[in-house]
């Protein structure tokens, strides 16, 4: 089996998987080599804050079509860090939770991180336009 066929099969396995991209580095000269040339200007002219992307397609030349809550782009497979498992809640999903005073609140998922020791996703929420400092686990949240 050739390496390109192996890469194609592997890339197809990434469809519908969630992962992270280094938003802190995405506009750097070093990172541009991973972005498809047709998307470099789009990325440079965007103010990205969401590092969570869904792989929606595999393209030729080892590019993945990725979509976040803010942008869609083609990126080389090497720059896409697949999550150990898909998150329960997605970016911009509305959720409800009990705050520290036991009062039911509504929020929006703004960021998703991973807790290595506990092997689970942690969610950063926005409530009434403000980012909560607490990180919530899936068990703390319910779909709104």
Q: Indicate whether 100 and 38 sit together in one domain.
A: no
Name the pLDDT band for 5 (thresholds 50, 70, 90): very low
Domain of residue 138: give its range.
94-143
What is the number of domains present in the chain?
Answer: 2
Q: Indicate whether 123 and 77 sit together in one domain.
A: no
> Are 21 and 79 within 8 A, CB to CB?
yes
Q: Indicate whether 14 and 58 sit together in one domain.
A: yes
82, 114, 131 — which closes off a domain? 82
Using a cut of 0.85, tell me whether the model's pTM lies above it. Answer: no
pLDDT of residue 91: 92
pLDDT, tens only, 26-52: 989 999 999 999 999 999 999 988 899
């Amino acid at each position: 089996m050739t390496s390109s066929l192996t890469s194609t099969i592997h890339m197809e396995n990434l469809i519908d998987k969630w992962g992270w991209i280094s938003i802190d580095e995405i506009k750097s000269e070093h990172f541009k080599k991973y972005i498809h040339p047709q998307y470099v200007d789009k990325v440079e002219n965007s103010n990205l804050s969401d590092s969570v992307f869904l792989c929606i397609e595999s393209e030729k030349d080892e590019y993945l079509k990725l979509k976040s809550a803010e942008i869609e782009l083609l990126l080389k497979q090497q720059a896409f860090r697949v999550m150990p498992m898909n998150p329960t809640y997605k970016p911009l999903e509305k959720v409800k939770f009990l705050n520290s005073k036991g009062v039911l609140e509504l929020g929006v998922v703004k960021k998703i991180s991973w807790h290595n020791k506990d092997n689970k996703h942690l969610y950063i929420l926005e409530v009434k336009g403000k980012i909560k400092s607490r990180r919530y686990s899936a068990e703390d949240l319910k779909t709104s």
